[in-house]
Amino acid sequence: MMMASLLGSSSAACVLLPASSLLFVAPAYAQSQPAADTPSPQTEQLVGVGETAETGEEIVVTGSLFRRTNTETPSPVTVLSSTTLEQRGFNTVAEALQRVTAGNAGTMTQGWNSGNNFAAGANAVALRGLTVQSTLSVFDGLRMAPYPLADDGQRNFVDLNTIPNAVIERIEVLRDGASSTYGADAVAGVINVITKKQIEGLHANGSAGVSQRGDAGEVRFDATYGYGSLADQGFNIYVSGEYLKQDALWARDRGYPYNTSDWSRICNAAGSCLPNLNPNGVSPDGFFNGFSAVPGVAAVRPVTTDGANIGSGRFAYLNPAAGCGRWDTIQVTPAQVDEAATAPANGRVCTYNPTGQYSMLQPEIERFGFTARFTANLGEDHQLYAQGNFYQTNTFSSSAPRSWTDRPTVPRSGAVVYNVIAPVYVCPTGVGTLNGVGTGCNATNGVLNPYNPYAAAGQTAQIQFMPDRPTTDETSGRSLRAAIGLSGSFGDSWRYSAEFTASNVQLNRVQNGYAIPQRIMDVVARGTFNFANPEANSQAVWDYVMPTNITRSESNLWQATANVTRSLFELPGGTLEAALGLAYRHESIDAPSANPQNDAHPYDRYYVINAVGTSGSRNVFSGFGEINAPILDQLEVNLSGRYDSYSTGQSNFSPKVGVKVTPIPQIALRGTWSKGFRIPSFNESFGTPTTGFVSQGGGTFCATYAAFCAAHGNNAYATSPFSVGLTNVGNPKLSPERSENITLGAIFEPLPNLSFTVDLWRIKVRDQIVGVSNIGPVIAAYYANNGVVNIPGFTVTPGVVDQANPSALPHIGTILASYANANRQELQGVDLGVNARFDLTDNLRLTSAFEASYLDRNHLTLVDPLTGEAQDPQKFEGTLSPCNTTSCSGSPKWRATWQNTLAFGNTTVSATVYYTAGYHVSQVDFGATPGDCASAVDAGAAAYPDGSPVMCKSKAIWNVDLTASQKVNDNFTLYANVLNLFDTKAPFDPNAAYGIYGYNPAWAGPNIMGRYFRIGAKLDF
């Protein structure tokens, strides 16, 4: 391929490199520009290949230490001005950055926050298909404290919700490695949010919005007041406050199939239909989805094998007179009863729709914050600033209740699977046990258990129960940040800058609806929980069994940095400049587990809540430098490097070379070569055991492990997909991940109002930090050796017992290993950009900006845990993978945006198209072959009962936003947004996100929202 030949040699990269492609019409305006002077679309200018920014002022472009008027550095940079944000109808930084086309697999969007995910309440961007911790987010060039919770319990990142929105000057997205300037984690790129240096007067902005369906309403307001002119009075001070409230989007308020798990109306041409996966659901073809608990309705059966802690025979509803309560009652056939094995003998079962009843597609969100800044000139050559920020984000999400026989949180050494077993006798002093025996209750001190119909016969009973109470997750994240800096010049050739920043993020998380198994056992042993009429229980009883779980996590960071630059001597192309700097920072996280490990009393831990947690701190000393050499008018060379030393034992030197060549004014060529690193996250180094679940089984599983399936009678337990827990443990001896970046590009401006950009890029990462990922050999050993796995470094725990065959080997339950440096990853692609401006008349201007990113390669090379040898690479580009790091949201090859803005008089109208390509449904990291539909089905892709795939490739996702503004007078502007103008639906996707939503929440969030209306007004005095 051409990409391979162009980027195949790192030596060639040292001499070929492009400049900053301004992929939006707004140029990179100087930080000193007042808010009132932000240019309107009518006055914006494209920055040409050899031109300077329109203001002519010097700025520091992200990724460099030098001030310059020419914003085109050797590295590609996307610039989002405040005007662009308004024209696109964005309310927050997170919204804007998640639409940047360079953002690919691993981006965390708002739609992921509607459940019990690891980093609930947070948003982050992953550039270039790497994870969120390979993209560095900074605030005015300075680091911020990370979010205390880690993505997937592994990856630390900066939460974009902590950034104030009302005072943003611009956002610069450096699409290149920048460890030579910023140190760790700037592997895939840097997001630099730059705030305004000066604001004068009063500026207020308020808006309200609602979807076309009358839900997901929002209100937003911000107000900023500033006083003083740096040019005339020598100082400026401003204060700003903002508030945003967005209502939840419930699944029940969206159409089929997003409001249910019954997808039986989706059929292929042959008439084969997807199953009804609602609890106890029956499909038109007769498929019965087993027998399971429904909220508030208890079922029981006698226990004949106490050692296995499970019942025997069929369940019966404990309170037949109450029926199914508020749920539907259905009659299943004798054949369906026999198939289910445990369903009531009379075939009358309860069913309900958990998605439509309890689930949110997007959480309820409230944000508010305050910002203050003071800037003063100290004489003619020095400037001092001080800034403080407070920001808080509150989220609330709801999801379906959890069964009281749900996935247990037991020690990693394993334990017998827990079931609710009712004893024969109950007494006030009873102590709950696993099997309902030995509770301390008997005929002399207790009574027959009223919730055990078999007590009179001397039998214990298994109770199947789920509370009619949703699981909820509330987060309250508060961010504090302060910064102070002094900059200036002395002599004729010296400049300096010194800054100090400190930030703190505190997160309170409140979780409800999660039960503690031991407390269930206790109330069962004492008879104090009314299973026959659950709503008759007092709130005190509910609170005892399902106590509110409150966890407070905190992260801190402070950093001091200083640098000096000097103009050394003149070269034919300009002045040779050199810069040196030092930095020192402290960073720490204290994120206690919401479910602490308790080996002595394992059943005192909550059901389902993950035991993720970490605590640690480190100090970092850094020295860095940069040389910029305009050797000729047509040739600029930039050299930079940084050394970082960590108190935890890691160190790294990161060099970078950049070249910009301008052979003629209409063409610029640019390129960079650099090395970088990602420091192990606190969770990777110090994390407690953290379990994530992946799907296995189904497809050809029984053909591969025929003996296992035969031992289970080839029943649904053996033949259906099942979940495997991957448990990772921190490893303080990890080395950093190390990367090599190459970019190669060109800017072509045939006319002053028309420019084209192309940038090729490649990233290679080695010593990649991995948890339990290459599980194939472990699973093969487990099923081939009757559950015995002797692979060094891996510990295996059996899973849930097959209740119909309790003596047979259970499915594998969890696989535990420490994080390790093992894999390699290679990514490469192309960025394209077109910018144009046409003055159609004296009072009519059209500006157009097109941006596209193509992911040509995303290859992960695993190391075999048995041999230590590298395996054939897994090829993720254009597939549903990597599921282990993106929850199966995919690696689409193409992402694009196209904005067109028409300005006439005091009116501006802007339409923006967003596009994300479809992807093959292959779960490559679970064994599928890219582009092979049959192997995708074998690896777990959705299929109809006749075996045909639901789809081999997902549909592309696109939508159009329309915004308009009318400046009524100098002080008053009205605006309106119509987001998702054509009400483009989210494509049905039963494979994305493990099939939880029926669509892809990473890319189709605006589509699931539907057409959305917003109106607002701005006041400027």
DSSP 298-326: -EEEE-SBGGGTB--S--EES-GGGTTTT
Predicted pLDDT at 693: 74
Average pLDDT over residues 228-240: 96
Predicted pLDDT at 288: 87
pLDDT band, very low/low/confident/very high, at 596 (cuts 50, 70, 90): confident
Which residue(s) pair with 765 in the sheet? 739, 825
Average pLDDT over residues 426-450: 94
The b-or-e profile of 148-178 (16+ CB within 10 A means b, else e) is bbbbbbbbbbbbbbbbbbbbbbbbbbbbbbb
The region of weakest confidence among 231-235, 458-462, 880-884, 957-961 is 880-884
The yes-or-no verdict on residue 207 having pLDDT over 70 is: yes
CA 438, 440, 444, 449 dihedral sign is negative
pLDDT band, very low/low/confident/very high, at 5 (cuts 50, 70, 90): very low
User: Reduced to 3 DSSP states, what percent helix, strand and coil does the chain have, rounded to the nearest 5?
Assistant: 15, 45, 45
Nearest to 49 by CA among 637, 570, 744, 753: 753
Predicted pLDDT at 44: 28
Q: What is the 3-state secondary structure (H, E, C) of 528-548?
A: CCCCCCHHHCCHHHHHHHCCC
User: Is 476 in contact with 508 (CB distance < 8 Å)?
Assistant: yes
The region of weakest confidence among 173-182, 357-366, 684-693, 744-753 is 684-693
Average pLDDT over residues 971-981: 96
How does DSSP assign 951-984, residue by residue?
-SBPPPEEEEEEEEEEEEETTEEEEEEEESTT-P
Predicted pLDDT at 414: 40
The yes-or-no verdict on residue 12 having pLDDT over 60 is: no
E-strand ranges in 513-609 read 549-571, 574-591
State the CB neighbour count (10 A cutoff) for residue 254.
24
Average pLDDT over residues 119-148: 90
DSSP state of 926: G
Write out the two tokens for 269.
Answer: 């041409």
pLDDT digits (tens, 9 = 90+) for 306-351: 545 567 788 999 999 999 999 999 998 888 887 777 889 899 999 9
pLDDT digits (tens, 9 = 90+) for 704-724: 999 999 999 988 788 887 888
- Cα gap 181→67, rounded to integer Å: 14
The yes-or-no verdict on residue 235 having pLDDT over 90 is: yes
pLDDT band, very low/low/confident/very high, at 406 (cuts 50, 70, 90): low
With a CB cutoff of 8 Å and minimum separation 6, the contacts of 39 are 26, 29, 54, 83
Predicted pLDDT at 26: 31
Predicted pLDDT at 599: 66
Average pLDDT over residues 400-408: 78
The yes-or-no verdict on residue 415 having pLDDT over 80 is: no
Residue scoring higher pLDDT (189 or 720) = 189
Q: What type of residue is 256?
A: Y
Residues, the chain: 1021
The region of weakest confidence among 20-24, 711-715, 814-818, 888-892 is 20-24
Write out the two tokens for 569.
Answer: 């001597």
- Strands 168-174, 189-195: pairing is antiparallel
- Cα gap 939→936, rounded to integer Å: 5
What percentage of the chain exceeds 90 in pLDDT? 65
pLDDT digits (tens, 9 = 90+) for 881-904: 998 778 889 999 999 999 999 999
pLDDT band, very low/low/confident/very high, at 1 (cuts 50, 70, 90): very low
- Strands 461-464, 420-422: pairing is antiparallel
Predicted pLDDT at 27: 29
Nearest to 925 by CA among 867, 884, 878: 884
- Residue 599 burial by CB count (10 A; 0-12/13-18/19+): exposed, middle or buried? exposed
Predicted pLDDT at 20: 33
With a CB cutoff of 8 Å and minimum separation 6, the contacts of 121 are 113, 159, 161, 363, 393, 395, 475, 477, 507, 509
pLDDT digits (tens, 9 = 90+) for 57-82: 566 667 776 665 455 678 888 888 88
pLDDT band, very low/low/confident/very high, at 733 (cuts 50, 70, 90): very high
The region of weakest confidence among 115-119, 208-212, 357-361, 480-484 is 115-119
- Cα gap 64→78, rounded to integer Å: 15
Write out the two tokens for 504.
Answer: 């703190």
Taking all residues of the chain, what is their mean pLDDT, rounded to a whole number? 87
With a CB cutoff of 8 Å and minimum separation 6, the contacts of 706 are none
Which residue(s) pair with 297 in the sheet? 294
Predicted pLDDT at 870: 84
Write out the two tokens for 510.
Answer: 């409140």
User: Is 413 in contact with 602 (CB distance < 8 Å)?
Assistant: no
Residue scoring higher pLDDT (586 or 612) = 586
Q: What type of residue is 364?
A: E
pLDDT band, very low/low/confident/very high, at 23 (cuts 50, 70, 90): very low
- Cα gap 957→959, rounded to integer Å: 7
Write out the two tokens for 738.
Answer: 């190390």
DSSP state of 600: S
CA dihedral 888, 892, 896, 897 (to 10 degrees): -10
Predicted pLDDT at 777: 86
pLDDT band, very low/low/confident/very high, at 417 (cuts 50, 70, 90): low
pLDDT digits (tens, 9 = 90+) for 368-380: 999 999 999 999 8
With a CB cutoff of 8 Å and minimum separation 6, the contacts of 584 are 559, 560, 561, 619, 620, 621, 622
Which residue(s) pair with 195 in the sheet? 168
- Cα gap 265→765, rounded to integer Å: 45
The yes-or-no verdict on residue 32 having pLDDT over 60 is: no
- Strands 135-139, 189-195: pairing is parallel
pLDDT band, very low/low/confident/very high, at 410 (cuts 50, 70, 90): very low
Q: Which residue has the tokens 């996966």?
A: 277
Predicted pLDDT at 73: 77
State the CB neighbour count (10 A cutoff) for residue 942.
17
Radius of gyration of the chain (CA): 30
Using omega within 30 degrees of 0 as the cis cutoff, is the peptide bond preceding 987 cis? no
User: Is 175 in contact with 122 (CB distance < 8 Å)?
Assistant: no
Predicted pLDDT at 473: 92
How does DSSP assign 352-388, residue by residue?
--HHHHH-EEE-EEEEEEEEEEEEEEETTTEEEEEEE
Predicted pLDDT at 407: 54
User: Is 858 in contact with 877 (CB distance < 8 Å)?
Assistant: yes
Write out the two tokens for 594.
Answer: 């919401």
- Strands 316-317, 328-331: pairing is unpaired
Q: What type of residue is 237?
A: I
Q: Which residue has the tokens 């990367």?
A: 739
pLDDT digits (tens, 9 = 90+) for 243-281: 999 999 999 999 999 999 999 999 999 999 999 999 999
- Cα gap 953→201, rounded to integer Å: 54
pLDDT band, very low/low/confident/very high, at 296 (cuts 50, 70, 90): very high
Predicted pLDDT at 845: 93
Residue scoring higher pLDDT (26 or 791) = 791
User: Is 633 in contact with 573 (CB distance < 8 Å)?
Assistant: yes
Q: What type of residue is 76?
A: P
Residue 174 phi, psi dihedral angles, 5° rounding: -80, 115
Q: How far is CA 342 from CA 289, 370, 407, 848, in A?
A: 12, 58, 19, 64
Residue scoring higher pLDDT (287 or 917) = 917
Q: Which residue has the tokens 């048995």?
A: 866
pLDDT band, very low/low/confident/very high, at 469 (cuts 50, 70, 90): very high
Predicted pLDDT at 21: 33
Average pLDDT over residues 492-499: 93
Coil, strand or helix at 511: strand
Q: Which residue has the tokens 């090859």?
A: 893
The yes-or-no verdict on residue 54 having pLDDT over 90 is: no
pLDDT band, very low/low/confident/very high, at 45 (cuts 50, 70, 90): very low
The region of weakest confidence among 548-552, 634-638, 786-790, 862-866 is 862-866
CA 435, 438, 440, 445 dihedral sign is positive
User: Is 19 in contact with 747 (CB distance < 8 Å)?
Assistant: yes
CA 115, 116, 122, 123 dihedral sign is negative
What percentage of the chain exceeds 70 in pLDDT? 90
The number of helix segments (H) and strand segments (E) in the chain equals: 17, 44
Predicted pLDDT at 405: 79
Q: pTM of the entire structure? A: 0.88
Residue scoring higher pLDDT (107 or 619) = 619
pLDDT digits (tens, 9 = 90+) for 679-700: 999 999 998 887 777 778 877 7
Residue scoring higher pLDDT (387 or 938) = 387
